Chains A and B, each alone.
Chain A
Amino acid sequence: MRILKQLAYAVALPAVLIAIWWVLSADSTSYYYPPLKTIVKAFPDTWTGDRWLHDVVPSLVRLALGYAIALATGVAVGTTIGLSRTLRALCEPALEFFRALPPPVLVPLIALFAGYTGSTSKVLAIALGCVWPILLNTVEGVRGLDEVLLDTARCYRLRAPARLMVVLRGSSPQVAAGARQALSIGVILMVISELLGANRGLGATVVQFQRGFQVKEMWTGIILLGLIGVLLSVLFRIAEHFALAWYRGLRQSDRGV
């Protein structure tokens, strides 16, 4: 019952917005602004098997690959830096600089080195954009680990794997915050990395539609990107729900007392 109610809340506003769009655009005769009905009708014809196989899936695979690389690198390097005061003092200014760089400016640069057309440069761009929020949040999370918890781990002589587990689990709420930020950056970079010199891929397709004046198809592409973004964030939330159940409980009991 509670789930149904929550679902109703979640769906209510989007439904209203779609209805408004539907009604307002119904009589539109503008070429650039077709009725929503037309766009929806064009959707199945636009995103056929061939487009899924050669544009959507490769883009998503690149996103997954780049994101995974960023997650692994960010957590590994972030933990290493977070555990050492010296490394932290040494690295933090440089890390802040890299984080402050808008990731899209790296795309042309990476293309110079890794080529314009292959997947490598795109995966690299996604990974390089995603890694900073994960890395910096991991450093923060590890640095902020409870002293008493670490002392406990030392007193009971936990061996390296168990100690690492304490560090990773203890900092996981912060890491998750960084990973969530990185996910939206990843989706943006998935599109942007295809704008330069790619002819296939989700982002590239949308740009080609726009250049070819296939306006209603372009609209379907934008809607698809939005849906993918929502789906990824739902998946992320589900994973987080299970991995951080203890953290939610801890926070709730802290507030209750």
Chain B
Amino acid sequence: MTAIPIRPDEATPPVDKGPAALDVRGLKKTYGAGARAVEAIRDLTFAVSRGELVCIVGPSGAGKTTLLRCIAGLLDVNGGTITLDGDAVTGPPAGMAVVFQEYGRSLFPWMTVKQNVELPLKEKGVGRAERRTLVADALEAVGLTENAGAHPWQLSGGMQQRVAIARAVAYEPSVLLMDEPFAAVDAQTRADLEDLVRALWRRLGMTVLFVTHDIDEAVYLGERVLVLSNRPTVIMEDVTVDLPSERDQLTTRSAPRFAELRAHVYELIQQAKKGQRPDEGATKLEE
């Protein structure tokens, strides 16, 4: 087996992947002020190229959700810049869709599945005919065509999260943010939804930033895995996932390379938990 070594000191992604859809530079976020201030994120720099699927993992309390909320424009930052398609993010940007972990709470319960998917399009000013096609396509892509007229609370948890994904996909965002979207569904549903995200990503060529606390999920889904340190957060390592792009739950997860990458990310997380920082020489993945 010839595995390609991973170079942990490579801070910027390969340039040949085209212009960055999302660019985060020197991001800094502190909660509170004065003596009581809590430094959540110290210095984060990374870029996500157009069409890339990047996963972010970190120990619990690493500020994953804080980072995502900053990128989504829901939180003000204390330093650094976030750029989406060349425009600085100061509030929720136009070209971004978010899928939250709390699927049941992010869908409007008084609307049907179809209305939930359609509302953001209406607000975006998409015409009626085009809206209808987008909604129908998105619902078909997540396998919910039959349930278009149902209310979210009539569906199972996994189906509700599919609705949220359909809403995000129909919105045609430049970047799709997913905040631990499958943390609250059961294991089997979770595997299905992971494959759904992979399939949608490959089919539609979206740019996806996927936050998770699950190492397996991150390696299985991502083209790259950004491993975060513990608080105050910096990037431990930017791991390139050199698995074939055709992935499935059985063969990919039992591939030796998958095990290596998984072990490597696992080690990084363990080091991060102990408080080790990247500049203190984290272990490198062996060939």
Contact A249–B92 (Cβ < 8 Å) = no
The chain B residue sitting closest to A149, CB to CB, is: B105
Chain A positions 15-47 with a Cβ under 8 Å from a chain B Cβ: none
Which residues in A have their C-beta under 8 angstroms from that of B107?
A: 152
Report if A169-B120 is in contact (Cβ < 8 Å); known contacts: A148-B102, A157-B94, A249-B154. no
Q: How far is the CB of B65 from chain A (nearest CB, A)?
A: 11
The answer to whether the Cβ of B182 comes within 8 Å of any Cβ in the partner chain is: no
Count of A residues near B, CB < 8 Å? 20
The answer to whether the Cβ of A146 comes within 8 Å of any Cβ in the partner chain is: yes
Report if A246-B123 is in contact (Cβ < 8 Å); known contacts: A148-B102, A155-B92, A156-B97. no
What 1/0 mask marks residues of chain B from 66 to 87 whose CB sits below 8 Å from any chain A CB?
A: 0000001110000000000000
Between A and B, how many residue pairs show CB distances below 8 Å?
Answer: 67
Q: How far is the CB of B242 from chain A (nearest CB, A)?
A: 33
The answer to whether the Cβ of B151 comes within 8 Å of any Cβ in the partner chain is: yes
Which residues in B have their C-beta under 8 angstroms from that of A162?
A: 119, 122-123
Q: How far is the CB of A168 from chain B (nearest CB, A)?
A: 10
The answer to whether the Cβ of B48 comes within 8 Å of any Cβ in the partner chain is: no
The answer to whether the Cβ of A236 comes within 8 Å of any Cβ in the partner chain is: no
Which of A148, A166, A253 is B100 in contact with, Cβ under 8 Å? A148
Which residues in B have their C-beta under 8 angstroms from that of A155?
A: 72-74, 92, 96-98
Q: How far is the CB of A120 from chain B (nearest CB, A)?
A: 37
The answer to whether the Cβ of A159 comes within 8 Å of any Cβ in the partner chain is: yes
The answer to whether the Cβ of A213 comes within 8 Å of any Cβ in the partner chain is: no
Q: How far is the CA of A250 from the CA of B153 in the complex (A)?
A: 6
Which of B98, B102, B119, B151 is A246 in contact with, Cβ under 8 Å? B151
Contact B108–A149 (Cβ < 8 Å) = yes
The bracket for how many chain B residues form the interface is 20 to 34
Q: How far is the CA of A205 from the CA of B73 in the complex (A)?
A: 63
Select the residue from A152, A155, A254 with max chain B CB neighbours within 10 A.
A155
The chain B residue sitting closest to A243, CB to CB, is: B110
Which residues in A have their C-beta under 8 angstroms from that of B122?
A: 162
Q: How far is the CA of A22 from the CA of B72 in the complex (A)?
A: 70
Contact A158–B123 (Cβ < 8 Å) = yes
Q: How far is the CB of B185 from chain A (nearest CB, A)?
A: 12
Chain A positions 45-101 with a Cβ under 8 Å from a chain B Cβ: none
The chain B residue sitting closest to A153, CB to CB, is: B108
Contact A151–B120 (Cβ < 8 Å) = no
The chain A residue sitting closest to B152, CB to CB, is: A250
The chain B residue sitting closest to A172, CB to CB, is: B110
Report if A253-B105 is in contact (Cβ < 8 Å); known contacts: A156-B120, A157-B94. no
Which residues in A have their C-beta under 8 angstroms from that of B110?
A: 169, 246-247
Q: How far is the CB of B210 from chain A (nearest CB, A)?
A: 16
Q: How far is the CB of B110 from chain A (nearest CB, A)?
A: 4
Report if A158-B120 is in contact (Cβ < 8 Å); known contacts: A148-B106, A169-B108. yes
The answer to whether the Cβ of A237 comes within 8 Å of any Cβ in the partner chain is: no
Contact B123–A151 (Cβ < 8 Å) = no
Which residues in B have their C-beta under 8 angstroms from that of A246?
A: 109-110, 151, 153
Q: How far is the CB of B152 from chain A (nearest CB, A)?
A: 8
Which of B92, B119, B151, B153 is A154 in contact with, Cβ under 8 Å? B92
Which residues in A have their C-beta under 8 angstroms from that of B97?
A: 155-156
- Chain A residues within 8 Å of B, Cβ to Cβ: 146, 148-149, 151-152, 154-159, 162, 166, 169, 246-247, 249-250, 253-254
**4 closest A-B pairs (Cβ-Cβ)?**
A156-B120, A148-B105, A246-B110, A253-B153
- Chain B residues within 8 Å of A, Cβ to Cβ: 72-74, 91-92, 94, 96-98, 100, 102, 105-110, 119-120, 122-124, 151, 153-154, 167, 171
